Each structure stands twice: as C-alpha cells, then as structure tokens.
Structure 1
Amino acid sequence: MDLKKIGNSSVQVTPMAFGAWAVGGWMWGGAEESAALRAIRASFDLGMTTIDTAPVYGFGRSEELVGRALQGIPRDQYQILTKYGLNWETAEGEFYFDTTDNNGKALKVYRYAAAAKVIKECEDSLRRLKTDYIDLLQIHWSDATTPIEETMRAVVKLIEQGKVRAAGVCNYSTTQVDEALKVVKLASNQVPYSMINRGIEKDIVPQALQKGMSIIPYSPLQRGLLSGKIKPGHKFGEGDTRENNKFYTTENINRANALLEKIKPIADGHNASLSQLVINWTTRQPAMDCVLVGARDEQQVKENVKALDFKLSDEELKKITQAANEFMLAE
C-alpha cells in the first residue's frame, strides 16, 4: 500500500490500518492469542503496516500482542498509533463506566489525562509495545477534570523527548480541537464513522479539512453490521457488547441489510464482498486518510486488505452515497 501523511505531520501511514481493539478481547467476547498474533503479523506482511491500538484494549493485552507480533521487524517499517487517557488503575479522573476485564474482574474506568498520567501511560505503552517511540499518540477520550492545555503540554514534552512523533485526539469536538491546537500541532482526530453513522460530516470533517488534519475513522463496518453477515436474531458470544448497541436492534439490522442489498450489485461488479465495498467507499470520503479496520484472525486480515484492490468510479461512489443517504436509524 502507498503511504500517505497523517495531517500536516511527518508521519506516513497506510490508507487502511489494522484496528487492534478486537484482538485485545475486551468487549468483543474474547480472542485467541495465537490467532491474534498471526493476524497482526499478516497485516504487516500484506502491506497494511499501520497498527492502531490502545492501553484499554484488553487492559494492556492488545499493546502487548502488537509488540510481540512485530518483534524483530525494523522499527521504521511499521507505524504504531496508540492512545492514553483512560484510567482503570485508580479512582482519579472523570468516571466513565463500569466493566470487567478479560478474566471477569470488575473494573471502573475513568477519563484521566493529567500531565503525570499522560507521561506514565506513554512509558507503559512503550514497554508493552517493545519500542522506543510511538508514531501517533492520541488522547482516547476527553477528561473534564483536567484542562486540555495541561494534557497537551505533556504530549509536547513527549514529542520533544523523541518518544512521540505526532499528536492526535480521539472523539474530540470541534471546540476541544480548537483548544488543543493552541498548545500542540494536531495531526488527526479519530472518530466513529460509517455509511450509517455520518454525523461528523457536519462539523468534524470540515474542521479537519480547514486545519490540515486527518480524520481516522473507526468502526467503518459499524462493528460488523455492514458486513452483511449479521441477521435478526444473531447470537453474540459471551461478553460481546454489540447485543445491546442501538445499531443492533432488529429494526436497524433489517434497515442496514436493506441498504447493503441496494449496493450489492456494485460489489458484485468488482468481485468484492460487501465489507470490501464499504471500506473502499470510506477511504474515498473527504479527510479519511487512515481507515481503521479490525480483525481477529489472519483470514479476516486477508479479506480486509483486498478492499483496496479495486477503484470505484465517480458514478459508483455517487450511487453508494445516495443509498447511504436514504438510510434512517430507528431510535
């Protein structure tokens, strides 16, 4: 895959990145370790050399798996995007939610991005990832208990120390981005975006284009719903939180599948799966410079990579977008 710059930074990434949330196991109903390692390595071998992870994905497990899978590969041949700002070790910060770890242990997660915590999290991530620098370090969620200026000054310090190459944010509003930009040059904003979840087109995307930032969209398949493989009555594994998600009601599963039926002829015309078509369309949207696509095993990685094996015509893009425009989420 051809590399492209993230925003106005010097960091170059693949247009599609391996999203390592699912391999961490947490909230996805578990993941088999050897399969996860093979999936990460397959991503690299097939040219998708950018990996997006986070400390909270499996509470360190995802980062550790990424570090192990890439060990022995020259560091300048892959790109690591990770995060900070979610705290499950203490009760400091803004309470976010209750959860359990991969072993069923109850945990409370807080949004916490005080300067000392940002520095500590970066050091912990470097250790787990078995590297001495992170290509893009992103705050995972905003923390109302810590001024944005304090958080971003800590990131500037890490950049000055050579431990971080570029700064990004996740799930930030336009106001929060503007505040952060007073302190640090932001390369990106990582936010949820899919064919049936396009709210960011109103404000987040225009801001990114104006400020020279990239959008790193996550959940482009709406956590699997746009694969076409989810039908009403689908049985989810233990610990899988999708069952209670608003997109996974019977009505919305039916509506999503109706959308997919409209665009299936285009996928068939390219000998592509629905997932590949949806991913390809997402990479063609404004500012979407690095689309995150998750996978649990090597076969899923191989299928994802094929999403860039074909080019949609302007007319096909228009037809897909029109079909997506007609989708209405049932509340």
Structure 2
Amino acid sequence: MEYRKLGESDLSVSVITFGAWAAGGWMWGGTERKGAIDAIRASYDLGVTSIDTAPVYGQGTSEEIVGEAIKDIPRDKVQILTKYGMRWDLAKGDFGFKSQDNEGNPIDVYKYSGKESIIKECEDSLKRLGTDYIDLYQMHWPDVTTPIEESMEAVLRLIEQGKVRQAGVSNYNVDQMKQAETVLNLASNQVPFSMINRGIEAELVPYCLANKKAILAYSPMERGLLTGKIKPGHQFAEGDHRAGYRFFKEENIRQTDAFLQKIKPLADSKNASLSQLVIRWTIERPGITVALVGARNAEQATQNAKAIDIQLSADEIEFINQQLEEVELV
C-alpha cells in the first residue's frame, strides 16, 4: 500500500481509503453487517488502514460497524475519518432532504453545524466508534445557517481537548475553505471526483495544490458505474438511490459502458479489473491525495486494495484520457 500525508498535517492515510457509506446501508438498499465488517478487516489486512464514515450513514449504523471492525486492531494502526453537520434527529439548520432510515421510516435530514451540535455529534461518534479520538473530523456539507467560523471554533476546541487530531471539510468550495482557514488549518477537503465527474479540476484542485491541502476523492467509481458491471437496462433494488441519480440515465450508462470497453484491453493486459484500473488512474491524477472506495464484502474489498499493485505509464494514462474526451454525458 502507499500512504500520503494530508496536506501539511502529521496525519498519513492509505491512498486507497475504505469508504463506509454503503456499509451503513442507508440509500443503498440495506446493509449486511457481517459482510461490511469482513470487508473492512480484509482491507486492513492489505494495508488499507484508513476508513471514512459519517453519523448519517445508516443513522449511526456505519460508525457502529466501523467500531466493531477495528476493535481488535491497535488504535494507532488505523485512521478514522468521520464527519459532522448532518442531523436526522434534530429539525434545525438548513433543511437538506427527505429520506428513509434502514427500516423504511421517514426522516428529514438537516445540514446543521452549530457549536453545541458539533460537540454532541463528536461525543456520539466516539461512543459508536469505540474510541477516544477521531483522526480527521470533517464538516459533511456547508450549513448556510451557521457562520463557518463558529463551526471551526468548535472543532478547534475538540482538537485542544485531544478528541480530534485534524480538521477537514467536505463539499466545500474555495471561498468556504478560505473562510474556514481564518480559524484553523484545514488538512483536507473531501469532494466528489471520478473519471466522468471532474468539475473540481477547474478551481478546487489548483487551490489545494497551491496551498498544500489534501483532496479526498469520494465516489471515484461513480457509485458503481465505472466498474463495468452496470449495463444499459440495469434495474436497481428498492431503496437504491442510484435509480434517480443523473449519471445513471440510460444514455449516460451507454456512453460510460462504451468508454470502459475501450480501456478494458489495457486492464486485461495488466491482469486487472476495470475497477482496479479506474482506482489507479484516480490516485495518479494531479491533486488527488486519496480515493475513497466502498465494498460490501471481503472479496470486493480485496480487489479494491489490490488496485495499488497496478502500474500506469505516462503513455497509458494519456491513452485513457484520450478515450475520456469522447464521453459526452447528458
């Protein structure tokens, strides 16, 4: 495995980090706890020491699964990345969206990051994770009802108390990052990025490169679309959010599948899967520090971790990029 420091912090993480959103089941058609725990442990055995989760993933379920999975691992050998600022149990702040919990009960999700809420969320996360500190604590989504400075001051207090090692944000633009930095030093920004979703390369990537901020790329597989397993006409399970997600429009599935067929011979020549090729391309992209990749079971997790063994030459990366230029999503 390869490890990279987050910005100028003292926190190093595995470049392939386990993304535990799907492990929580929420918005992914349910979860299978044993499979998720096995996936995290299989990842760790192959050097994936970093796990990214959040309270809202399964309304606590994902964090509990992570806590269970790492309970027998020495705490300093694993890095826990979690978040704050999305409440389903409190109607306060900026209303986000309506959803359902894993039992199908309706919930309203709010973006809220007031100081007292962050302190409470941190305590709840520590209990669920079974630890006394969080390695990277990230604002999940901007909250327009709370000054950024107030939120960052709360995290600064948690750092001073030893409950948090480093501060990060997620889904922040450049201006929001600058505002947060007036209070504390950000290690990272976690944002969506994939071969077919590269909007951050316009402003955010240049800013982070210039200011030595790490970028944690989430959904690098575009929620499974870039695995090559989703073909035109695919039917999603009940409760799977991807059925209404724009990248899964029929034309976009068709275009993406055509692109993947063009690069498949390259993957085959390296005895690699398409997923492994996509993960390796992602962590080679300028400015991208980490790829967050999820898995539902140990077999998927093992395949993801082994993407680190793939080597891509400059010519091969250029070949992939040329094929990408022909993809025109609607």
**What range describes the TM-score normalised by the shorter chain of this pair?**
over 0.9
Q: How does 1:115-130 map to 2 (within 5 A)?
A: 115-130=115-130
Structure-1 residue corresponding to 2:44: 44
- 1:88 alignment partner in structure 2: 88
Q: Deviations over 1:286-307 (max 9, x none)?
A: 1211110000000100111111
Aligned letter for 2:27?
M
Q: Which runs of 5+ in 2 are unaligned?
A: none
Letter in 2 for 1:164: V
- CA deviations 1:204-228 (Å, max 9, x no partner) are 1011111110110000110000000
For residues 149 and 38 of structure 1, what CA distance do their matches in structure 2 show?
Answer: 39
Q: How does 1:282-293 map to 2 (within 5 A)?
A: 282-293=282-293
Residue identity matched to 2:154: A
Please tell me whether the aligned partners of residues 168 and 189 of structure 2 are also in contact (alpha carbons under 8 angstroms).
yes
How far apart, in 1, do the equivalents of 2:325 and 2:85 lie? 34
Query: Shift in Å at residue 20 of structure 1?
Result: 0.2
- The 1-side partners of 2:225 and 2:29 are apart by 16
- Shift of residue 3, structure 1, vs aligned partner: 2.1
- Residue 2 (structure 1) shift: 3.0
| TM-score calculated relative to the size of structure 2 | 0.99
State the alpha-carbon separation in 2 of the partners of residues 193 and 56 from structure 1.
21
Give CA deviations for 1:163-194 in whole Å, capped at 9, x if unaligned.
11100000001110111111110011100000
Match of 1:151 in 2: 151
Displacement of 1:265 in angstroms is 1.6
Structure 1 residue runs of 4+, over 4 Å off? none
Report what 1:277 is aligned to: 277
Amino acid at match of 2:85: G
**Alignment map for 1:1-331 (pairs within 5 Å):** 1-330=1-330
The structural deviation recorded for 1:47 is 1.1
CA contact (8 A) 2:94 2:111 kept: yes
1:258 Cα deviation from its structure 2 partner: 1.0
Letter of the structure 2 residue corresponding to residue 43 of structure 1:
S
CA RMSD in angstroms, aligned pairs only = 0.8
Partner SS for 2:220 = coil
1:73 aligns to what SS in structure 2? coil
Could you tell which deviates more after superposition, 315-324 or 95-104?
Answer: 315-324
Give the number of aligned pairs.
330
CA distance in 2, matches of 1:286, 1:189: 15
- Three-state SS of the structure 2 residue aligned to 1:276 is helix
Deviations 1:244-282 (A, max 9, x none): 111111100000011111211211111111111001000
- State the alpha-carbon separation in 1 of the partners of residues 305 and 87 from structure 2: 33
Separation in 2, partners of 1:75, 1:82: 15
State the Cα deviation string for residues 300-326 of structure 1 (Å, max 9, x = none): 001111111121000001111121122
Partner-residue secondary structure (3-state), 1:27 = coil
Cα pair 2:276 2:310 within 8 Å, conserved: no
Whole-angstrom distance in 2 between the partners of 1:326 and 1:142: 34
Using the TM superposition, give the Cα deviation of residue 155 of structure 1 relative to its aligned residue in structure 2, in angstroms.
0.6
* 2:167 partner SS: strand
1:130-159 CA-partner distances (Å, limit 9, x unpaired): 001110000000000000000000011111
Tell me the amino acid that sits aligned with residue 276 of structure 1.
Q
Q: Tell me the secondary structure at the aligned position of residue 146 of structure 2.
A: coil
Quick one: which amino acid aligns to residue 47 of structure 1? G
Amino acid at match of 1:91: A
Secondary structure at the aligned position of 1:239 is classed as coil
Corresponding letter in the other structure for 1:66? V
Distance 1:127 1:95 in 2: 26
Q: Tell me how far apart the structure 2 counterparts of residues 203 and 322 of structure 1 sit (CA, whole Å).
A: 22
State the Cα distance separating 1:53 from its structure 2 match.
Answer: 0.3
Deviation of 1:72 (Å):
1.9
